[in-house]
Chain A
Amino acid sequence: MSEFSVIGRRLPKVNSWAHLTGEARYADDLFLPRMLYGRVLRSTRPHARIRRVDTGRALAYPGVVAVVTGADMPEKMGIMPSTQDETALAVDRVRYVGEPVAAVAALDEDIAFDALSLIQVDYEDLEPIFTIEEALEREDVKIHDEAKRANVFKEVHLSFGDLEGGFAAADHVRDDWFFFEGNTHAPIESHSAVASYGPDDKLTLWTATQVPHYLHRELEKVLGLPRSRIRVIATPNGGAFGGKSDPFGHEFAAALLSIRTRRPVKITLDREEVFYAHRGRHPVKMRIRTGVKKDGEITAVHYQSWLDGGAYASYGIATTYYTGALLTVTYRIPAYKFDGVRVYTNKPPCGPKRGHGTTQPRYGFECQIDKIAEDLDLDPLEYRKKILQPANSRTVNDLRITSMGLGECLDALQRSTRYSERRGQLGRGKGIGLAGSAYISGAGLPIYWNEMPHSGAEIRIDRGGGVTVMCGTSEIGQGSDNMLASVAAEALGVMPADVHVVSGDTSLAPVDLGSYSSRVTFMAGNAVRDAAMKLRALLVAAAAEKLEVPADRLLSAYGRIYDRDDPSKFIAFADAAVLAESKHGTLVAAGSYKPPKGIGGSFKGAGVGPTPAYSYQAAVAEVTVDMDTGMVTVDKVTTAHDCGRALNPANVEGQVEGSAYMGYGEIIGEEQVFRGGLHKKPSLLDYKIPTSLDTPVLEAIVVESVDAEGPFGAKEAGEGPLNPVIPAIANAVYDAIGVRFDETPITAEKILTALGKRDRRGEQKTRIGPDGLDTGKADPKRALRRLTASTDARERKRPN
């Protein structure tokens, strides 16, 4: 019998019923009395100065109540306090097509839509920059005047161990370039915010956000309204995946429009606008040099990345560090150098998408590990097992490793898929591939410097034995409300269905930093457990007195507190609550969590990478390549994931499967790409998120390493499992057709090119990918011609 009554059981999520009956209230489902409808006017130019914004005609349009522009909120904002380079609405310059410029509030949405076309914006086009290389080289064009070198947003250089010695000692050095194409989250729910500024001069903002607390801070800064007068309520997010973790222009616009009109204002983005809001996966070029001994032991790794950040910072500083930080936590690396550069380009800002910054390097590195195994004639699975970073160790870049289940993941995969026997044996066009990975269970540091808890929780027990958990976490579909209820229920001895959860509300719940970096289970889980254990002690003490049994013999489960040695001696949870409240007063307890000190180094840049615990995972992909059409079918993905302990196995499997699905989409067809400054596919028809008929058979294997510090041993499950899927598929395609895909996505065009079937010349390739940076081609004259062309294009008429 399990030691737990809740943990480890496949219980329905506490918020399932609302989801399944249509009763869940997402932001756009809110309709308040006197509510106005807002819409956002967006830039039609990739890079331009705003000479003038004329809102007169729009304001005069019947039914329009208010219009706001960038000049109304000129305060800089952004998620990372050190790199705030955005304004809620563009002030005097636009930097990407789709950037918010103005917003209207009207009696209905039809009027708001019509009114947008009446706002006149006078633009003066500036030369746009669209590629990493141009951004690096063009000193004469500055997307942000503050950039010190060309259009470099951030440059990072970190070195650990004896790199030169490492390479000198190597028997074999691989030097590979990779490119990872950008892609976006595409949650089915588009962003939506409802603001209501009341007669008490208080603002309430209901919004689909992953970070109510950080948004709370930014609202104060931009609106000049004290935080004490602002309440942010994160509504259930209809999917987020990182895409709702920045403060967004429409949130501020709704707030300001509500302040101006003293009426509730709702702004819901349409699908196309979601592609412009973006903050998705950065396109990254990478070079990885790895030295190994004959037996495969790694002697040194030099990893370089160039990130295309788009027009603004977003989480970019963290993303940049993340591309280099976590390569060291899976396999033993004695010497490591990381160089990272993130540049600005005139495209929607990139930010954190599931696997934040670690997905791209993990793809490159796991493809390279596969190549090294081949070079050394080693089985890729056995090879990975041989070079594992040990549990309870420190990496070369001073990251503390605790529980580490990658070896178990690899063993589980071998048992389930018979990878080692099947590799190379499936026949031409069929392949099997493997990759490993790791991820954090929450960032070791908050995004703004402070000594406060990362997560706080409050639990109240009422006189009927009802338990209410309050925690600032944002429910984005990952199951955080259910996690809070489950941890509290387990600790107190009730069932999750008896727990009320109040989450994501800055007024009612203690701060939790937000649903990002896979931090919620570990951090909020520990905070709730902390609070619950305090209350449990009171209840157990009261029960012990009543039952005349020593407190340490009492257990609590299923709504009872009972004698371990004689379960017929028990007291109902509700009765214990009455006794405890009689004795101690109102039953409320707070708990909090902050990662321990010493989990990372102390060098500059050491803030990104540490976590209280790393999750580990590995995936095996099985593919079929149509040798005539170039179409790739991924038949199956099996993912083994070390989540510490599965608090609810059904939900862990759901996260693992969902991650595999999303990773599959990223390598097979999804791409956030542009033609000039215009998004090429800003719709769910053209941006190819996989349907049920495309998605591979997905199998999830849960590996439990039981982390000593996690709540009941748990670690993250929501992001890491995406990472290995992408290189596993690339490695499977190699196994199928002998072509290395050193860039994503793998398209039919690229397969045909490699197979020599693209044209009649029939030239074959064994590798598709970049050979270096495409530098030295930035020709100012050519660029100037392009600017003229891009300006002319809008006017381009047919010759008579």
Chain B
Amino acid sequence: MTKQLLTLRVNGEPRTIAADSHHTLLEVLREELGLTGTKHGCELGECGACTVLVDGVPVLACLTLPALVGDADVTTVEGLANGAGAGAPGREATLHPLQIAFAEEGAAQCGYCTPGMLMTAKALLDTTARPTRAQIASAISGNLCRCTGYTAIYEAIEKAASRA
């Protein structure tokens, strides 16, 4: 088995690891970096649970080779809170408005699609400050949720947008 040395920039932190070259970004995040917040529902690109941001763009970690990520910024749910990972005084992590709105609206039921949903929603709000309901529905159409019927998720994203 060929291990390769990889340097990834995840949630603002440089991480160097040796990983099997056929392992996906999903596997590396969860198994090598301990970032189990990124979930997996099918590993075939058919559910969206493993959505992470690469340079701010939502992609599926289950179909991404870490070697090809290069020096792009990878953001996972663990990095969603503003200043996450920072320990200096005044840089304590504060929850992202999406996290607060999701809690308030009950947009996470079982919570399993939630990390991927949050990352998709963050990318949407980063490019579209006040998305319409139709824009939200399109944006999250690659993230299956089996619990909510999506309604509370729409409301949470709208609420987070309105507070930005």
Any A–B CB pair closer than 8 Å? yes
Binds A, one of B53-61, B65-73, B140-148: B140-148
Chain A residue nearest in CB terms to B118: A20
B113 at the interface (CB under 8 A from A): yes
Question: CA–CA, A499 to B115, complex, Å?
Answer: 25
User: For residues 326 through 383 of chain A, which have their beta carbon under 8 Å from a beta carbon of chain B?
Assistant: none
Binds B, one of A25-33, A143-151, A161-169, A521-529: A25-33
User: How many positions in chain A have a CB within 8 Å of any CB in the partner chain?
Assistant: 57
Q: A-facing mask of B17-44, CB < 8 A → 1, else 0?
A: 0001010000000110011111111111
User: B148 and A22: CB pair below 8 A?
Assistant: no
A477 at the interface (CB under 8 A from B): yes
User: A21 and B78: CB pair below 8 A?
Assistant: yes
Q: Which residues of B contact A692 (CB under 8 A)?
A: 136-138, 140-141, 143, 145, 150, 153
User: B80 and A188: CB pair below 8 A?
Assistant: no
Chain A residue nearest in CB terms to B76: A22
User: For residues 681 through 704 of chain A, which have their beta carbon under 8 Å from a beta carbon of chain B?
Assistant: 683-685, 689, 691-693, 695, 697-698
Query: Which residue of B30, B81, B138 contacts A21 across the interface (Cβ within 8 Å)?
Result: B81
Chain B residue nearest in CB terms to A12: B103
A-B contact count (CB 8 A): 177
User: A239 and B20: CB pair below 8 A?
Assistant: no
Binds B, one of A431-439, A544-552, A614-622, A656-664: A656-664
User: B102 and A20: CB pair below 8 A?
Assistant: yes
B114 at the interface (CB under 8 A from A): yes
Question: CA–CA, A691 to B113, complex, Å?
Answer: 13
Chain A residue nearest in CB terms to B140: A692
User: B151 and A691: CB pair below 8 A?
Assistant: no
User: B114 and A661: CB pair below 8 A?
Assistant: no
User: B147 and A19: CB pair below 8 A?
Assistant: no
B5 at the interface (CB under 8 A from A): no
User: A653 and B106: CB pair below 8 A?
Assistant: yes
B8 at the interface (CB under 8 A from A): no
Question: CA–CA, A693 to B150, complex, Å?
Answer: 10
Q: Which residues of A contact B47 (CB under 8 A)?
A: 188, 271, 684
Closest Cβ–Cβ distance, residue B83 to chain A (whole Å): 13
B149 at the interface (CB under 8 A from A): yes
Q: Which residues of A contact B78 (CB under 8 A)?
A: 21-22
User: A189 and B110: CB pair below 8 A?
Assistant: yes
User: B20 and A110: CB pair below 8 A?
Assistant: yes
A566 at the interface (CB under 8 A from B): no
User: B41 and A684: CB pair below 8 A?
Assistant: yes
Question: CA–CA, A15 to B149, complex, Å?
Answer: 20
Question: CA–CA, A698 to B138, complex, Å?
Answer: 17
Q: Which residues of A contact B20 (CB under 8 A)?
A: 110
A18 at the interface (CB under 8 A from B): yes
A557 at the interface (CB under 8 A from B): no
A contact residues vs B (CB 8 Å cutoff): 10, 12-13, 15-26, 28-29, 31, 110, 185-190, 236-241, 270-271, 476-479, 648, 650-651, 653-654, 657-658, 660-662, 683-685, 689, 691-693, 695, 697-698
**Sample (7) of A-B pairs whose CB atoms are under 8 Å apart:** A13-B108, A22-B38, A110-B20, A189-B110, A479-B109, A648-B106, A661-B149
Given contacts A661-B150, A695-B150, 7 further A-B contacts (CB under 8 A): A22-B38, A22-B77, A188-B41, A188-B49, A188-B113, A660-B149, A692-B153
